């Protein structure tokens, strides 16, 4: 009446063993693959016997390299490679670029590769005791930099560090002193005046500018200025107007490379046109050869951009986005020389205005000065000595105040006022001095 008792003397059907056997095979294959990657060396290994090649790698003549120190003993013991090194190599060399930023290789840093008996560790100043691994980055200039241990915690972190060490970047300028040191004292320097956040076209333009830096970094210094916060006085007033979201560029040529003591030695050539590598390269080449229009340099200073200028930059950007042509221009109103014809010395004179008007205006100015001088002398004659001293004191205070204002505003005030009148409601552009 009980249940049927299974006969355990009979073996299991063969088809029930297929799945476990297949699972074991898959796990075994995966393990062997992972093990071969970790314990093997999928990267090129530098031959320590080829001292010339090793010298070329560490001099940067063969491009950027990321070098993992792995002794021969560690290779024979099949020591696993640093996982951050492996992951970073895959991130940087993602196959999208024809020329990867850097090549990842391994080498025995304990090996002696010089006649002086120095190992790679000693020759290039690498700390052989660094943990978890010794990784060095060699840039195109031949500078060897060791990666800190904390930067080897993941491939993502290491890839960011490697990019920072290898990618060519424009030096950041935030003061007049930095501009002089990093840019104006160099034989050739290109300053990109960034307009803040840019659209897709602007991002593409910056990519083209980056390509320009990679091709000219050996001959030209590159710096960047945040134009939304700062302005380069003495140059910007002669360049295209500041527009938020639009980058500008200017080339500085120092006739006598070295300390800048005289502004006249520096030539400035602004860039106009499409931000493309070829167009930028042609502009740069012409400027270095003495071509291009010199926009002039006078009293260059890096100053905080005024609130008024920032607002005008935003307004221009809004007008450009809406398809407008910018603020409406107004015509400069010319004041008549005289209120009426009688002031000119006789409205009945038909020949007035037909002769030498310049001499007539000069004569009128002389008459006005003489009249003002006479009135001033009559007023002073009726004043007491104390009143005269007080008046002189006020004149001196006013004179000093005007001098201070002129020094603060800069020598370009008249040019800015003309620019404001041409642009209509726009207010004066900030004077840019070097």
CATH number of domain containing 90: 3.40.30.10
Choice between 126 and 353, residue whose per-residue pLDDT is larger: 126
pLDDT band at 327 (very low <50, low <70, confident <90, very high): very low
Of 241, 270, 304, the one marking the end of a domain is 304
Q: How many independent structural domains does the chain possess?
A: 2
Tell me, yes or no, whether 242 lies in a domain.
Answer: yes
Query: What stretches of 284-336 adopt beta strand conformation (E)?
Result: 301-304
Tell me, yes or no, whether 13 lies in a domain.
Answer: no
Tell me, yes or no, whether 11 lies in a domain.
Answer: no
Assess whether 181 and 147 both reside in one domain. no
Assess whether 177 and 266 both reside in one domain. yes
The confidence score (pLDDT) of residue 98 equals 63
Q: Domain range holding 227?
A: 171-304
Tell me, yes or no, whether 288 lies in a domain.
Answer: yes
Q: Tokens 């809406």 sit at which residue?
A: 322
- Looking at every residue in the chain, the average pLDDT score rounds to 76
The confidence score (pLDDT) of residue 359 equals 85
User: Which of 234, 224, 150, 134 is CA-nearest to residue 182?
Assistant: 224
pLDDT band at 338 (very low <50, low <70, confident <90, very high): very low
pLDDT band at 326 (very low <50, low <70, confident <90, very high): very low
Assess whether 149 and 231 both reside in one domain. no
Chain length of the chain: 434
Tell me, yes or no, whether 423 lies in a domain.
Answer: no
Of 119, 139, 166, the one marking the end of a domain is 166
Q: What predicted TM-score, i.e. pTM, was given to this entire model? A: 0.50
Is pLDDT of 27 > 60? Answer: yes
What are the strands of the beta sheet with 65-69, ordered from one edge? 44-45, 103-107, 65-69, 135-138, 144-146
Using DSSP, state whether 78 is helix, strand or coil: coil
Assess whether 159 and 177 both reside in one domain. no
Is pLDDT of 226 > 60? Answer: yes
Of 166, 190, 211, the one marking the end of a domain is 166
Q: Pick the range with the lowest mean pLDDT from 149-153, 374-378, 379-383.
A: 379-383
At residue 249, φ and ψ (nearest 5 deg) are -140, 150
**What's the average model confidence in pLDDT over 305-313?**
82
The confidence score (pLDDT) of residue 30 equals 65
Assess whether 72 and 112 both reside in one domain. yes
Tell me, yes or no, whether 391 lies in a domain.
Answer: no
Assess whether 234 and 296 both reside in one domain. yes
Assess whether 138 and 210 both reside in one domain. no
- The dihedral region occupied by 95, where left means phi > 0, alpha psi between -120 and 50, and beta the remainder, is left
pLDDT digits (tens, 9 = 90+) for 249-265: 899 988 776 555 555 57
């Amino acid at each position: 009446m009980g249940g049927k008792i299974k006969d355990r003397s009979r073996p299991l059907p063969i088809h029930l063993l297929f799945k476990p056997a297949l699972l074991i095979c898959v796990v075994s294959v995966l393990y062997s693959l992972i093990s071969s990657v970790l314990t093997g060396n999928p990267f090129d290994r530098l031959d320590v016997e080829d001292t010339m090649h090793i010298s070329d790698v560490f001099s940067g003549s063969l491009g950027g390299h990321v070098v993992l120190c792995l002794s021969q003993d560690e290779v024979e013991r099949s020591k696993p490679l640093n996982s951050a090194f492996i992951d970073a190599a895959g991130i940087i060399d993602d196959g999208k670029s024809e020329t990867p930023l850097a090549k990842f290789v391994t080498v025995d840093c304990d090996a002696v590769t010089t006649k002086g008996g120095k190992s790679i560790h000693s020759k290039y100043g690498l700390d052989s005791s660094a943990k978890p691994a010794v990784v060095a980055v060699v840039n195109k200039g031949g500078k060897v930099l060791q990666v800190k241990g904390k930067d080897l915690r993941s491939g993502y972190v290491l890839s960011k560090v490697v990019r920072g060490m290898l990618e060519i970047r424009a030096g950041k300028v935030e003061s007049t002193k930095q501009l002089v040191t990093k840019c104006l004292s160099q034989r050739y320097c290109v300053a990109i005046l960034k307009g803040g956040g840019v659209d897709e076209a602007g991002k593409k333009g910056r990519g083209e500018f980056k390509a320009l830096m990679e091709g000219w970094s050996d001959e030209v210094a590159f710096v960047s200025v945040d134009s939304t916060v700062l302005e380069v006085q003495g140059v910007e007033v002669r360049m295209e107007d500041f527009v938020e979201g639009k980058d500008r560029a200017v080339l500085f040529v120092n006739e006598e490379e070295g300390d800048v003591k005289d502004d006249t030695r520096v030539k400035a050539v602004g860039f106009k046109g499409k931000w493309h590598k070829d167009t930028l390269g042609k502009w740069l080449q012409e400027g270095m050869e003495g071509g291009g229009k010199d926009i002039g340099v006078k009293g260059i200073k890096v100053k905080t951009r005024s609130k008024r200028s920032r607002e005008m930059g935003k307004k221009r950007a809004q007008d450009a986005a809406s398809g407008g042509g910018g603020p409406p221009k107004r015509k400069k109103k010319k004041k008549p020389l005289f209120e009426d014809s009688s002031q000119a010395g006789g409205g009945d004179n038909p020949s007035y205005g037909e002769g030498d008007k310049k001499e007539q205006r000069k004569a009128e100015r002389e008459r006005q000065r003489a009249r003002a001088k006479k009135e001033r002398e009559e007023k002073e004659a009726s004043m007491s000595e104390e009143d005269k001293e007080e008046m002189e004191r006020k004149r001196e205070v006013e004179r000093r105040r005007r001098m201070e204002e002129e020094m603060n505003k800069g020598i370009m005030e008249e040019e800015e006022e003309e620019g404001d009148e041409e642009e209509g409601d726009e207010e004066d552009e900030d004077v840019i001095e070097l």
